[in-house]
Structure 1
């Protein structure tokens, strides 16, 4: 059998490189031309593997070849069969498969028999179009929801309710991260990868240290962090609206009226 040439990441250990080659050769023997490519996700794909990490490999197949195949898991490898048409389908925010989209972010395509389609399709899964961002921020209320929890935290702080302040501040963070990543045109990463992504692939207008510091301080219920974050998000909100036919985010925040005085330091 002729060895398959793979574009394995340089950070992959020799043992994992050999294991990935075995996956490729086994699937090539089983599927032949119906094997369209391999995408290496998970910690191993991003250079964050530990001794306990396995390989998370998307096996991209033709639609016919995918029929009947299921994900297989061992201590060393998870093989996830995926048809090309499934990879091309973009699950909307709020659906069951939305959370799988980030698994393609910064995940190297190690085998591509489609002439370069897999890189483009993986990138599309991990990015948020302006139309999607508008849906996430407006239709799904992620911006308004974040303002709501931030406001509640500040109200509890004003009234001396320390525990309630911290709870609402912590509750605000998923809404905040959906907001800032959508404004940046990207799917929010899994928490495990948040520091790595911000450090290796900074969001436009944010530094990794700056955003992570605000997140950590917000977890502690720090009112100053909530107010500083609010001002930063307002700037990004205005920038987003300049790309729209008419403002869509400015009215959401402005609709809070006099209640916004609580965000003044």
Structure 2
């Protein structure tokens, strides 16, 4: 549509989708689905779900529309564990269903993708907690031993599992980095330590300095919540190694007789 705006092309697409019986579902994702995130450069990310993949509407990816066409059977598993595209799960958090079947199946599938079940959250907290502690522990060891660059690399690697753990504690999918500030402003996690005013600046300090006190701050903020959620065993498995995360350098004799922690 020469000379038309992205909004006009999106409106035309929606009209075609609603008139096309081969399309059983349509979902708007991305910045346009999240209030306050879209800019003048934002495109419209749309998933079209078909009964058999036979729609005449073609996939497209440009500065105005990003259209993905997917058969229903593929869409059922898309972005869920075992699908191979788990990385795309947050796309369906706060996504808007533009067209649904009479039985509401598309909306149900989008809801299931956009949040974690209790069982998923329990497993994700345990796994990401172990990854975070491992990264933070190695961060502190490298800093202690004068390996500044290595410490900052481990500091950076500690952030993804930390955020995964924090959001999973609330049965929520970790947002893409782009949406972290928006998420914390519009859908707060609750604890003051993870508020929009506190958490992003702390993470910025982790990335810019990798100072040991920030590792301990992240750990001490997280520890009571994961213990309250029933994950004490993950932490307790680290034994005396946790001293380094809680209070700094362990006694010299403890350092000498302590085995290397497992890489988890």
User: TM-score scaled by structure 2?
Assistant: 0.80
Indicate the residue corresponding to 2:226 in structure 1: 237
**Contact 1:93 1:136 (C-alpha < 8 Å) held by counterparts:** no
After superposition, what is the alpha-carbon deviation per residue over 1:181-208, rounded to whole angstroms, capped at 9, x for unaligned? 2222111111111111121112243312
Structure 1 stretches lacking a partner, 5+ long: 1-13, 242-248
- Indicate the SS of the match to 1:208: coil
**Contact 2:31 2:42 (C-alpha < 8 Å) held by counterparts:** yes
Shift of residue 212 of structure 1?
1.4
- Indicate the SS of the match to 2:26: strand
How many equivalent pairs are there?
240
Once residues 117 and 16 of structure 1 are traced to their aligned partners in structure 2, the CA distance between those partners, rounded to angstroms, is 29
**Residues 89, 67 of structure 1: CA spacing in aligned structure 2 closer, same or farther, 3 A cutoff?**
farther
Shift of residue 57 of structure 1?
0.9
Indicate the residue corresponding to 2:47 in structure 1: 58
After superposition, what is the alpha-carbon deviation per residue over 1:141-161, rounded to whole angstroms, capped at 9, x for unaligned? 321111011011112222233
- Indicate the SS of the match to 1:33: coil
Question: Which among 153, 157, 167 is matched to residue 181 of structure 1?
Answer: 167
- Indicate the SS of the match to 1:39: strand
Indicate the residue corresponding to 1:11 in structure 2: none
**Contact 2:23 2:55 (C-alpha < 8 Å) held by counterparts:** no
**Contact 1:130 1:185 (C-alpha < 8 Å) held by counterparts:** yes
Indicate the residue corresponding to 1:155 in structure 2: 141
Once residues 125 and 136 of structure 2 are traced to their aligned partners in structure 1, the CA distance between those partners, rounded to angstroms, is 16
**Residues 94, 191 of structure 1: CA spacing in aligned structure 2 closer, same or farther, 3 A cutoff?**
farther
Structure 2 stretches lacking a partner, 5+ long: 248-264
Indicate the residue corresponding to 1:258 in structure 2: 240
Once residues 72 and 17 of structure 1 are traced to their aligned partners in structure 2, the CA distance between those partners, rounded to angstroms, is 15
> 1:123-134 alignment to 2 at 5 Å?
123-134=111-122
Shift of residue 169 of structure 1?
0.6
**Residues 238, 23 of structure 1: CA spacing in aligned structure 2 closer, same or farther, 3 A cutoff?**
same
After superposition, what is the alpha-carbon deviation per residue over 1:97-143, rounded to whole angstroms, capped at 9, x for unaligned? 101111111122233343544333212101111211233344xx321
After superposition, what is the alpha-carbon deviation per residue over 1:67-102, rounded to whole angstroms, capped at 9, x for unaligned? 898632233211111334433336444752101111
User: TM-score scaled by structure 1?
Assistant: 0.80
Once residues 35 and 185 of structure 1 are traced to their aligned partners in structure 2, the CA distance between those partners, rounded to angstroms, is 31
Once residues 56 and 86 of structure 2 are traced to their aligned partners in structure 1, the CA distance between those partners, rounded to angstroms, is 23
Once residues 80 and 229 of structure 2 are traced to their aligned partners in structure 1, the CA distance between those partners, rounded to angstroms, is 20
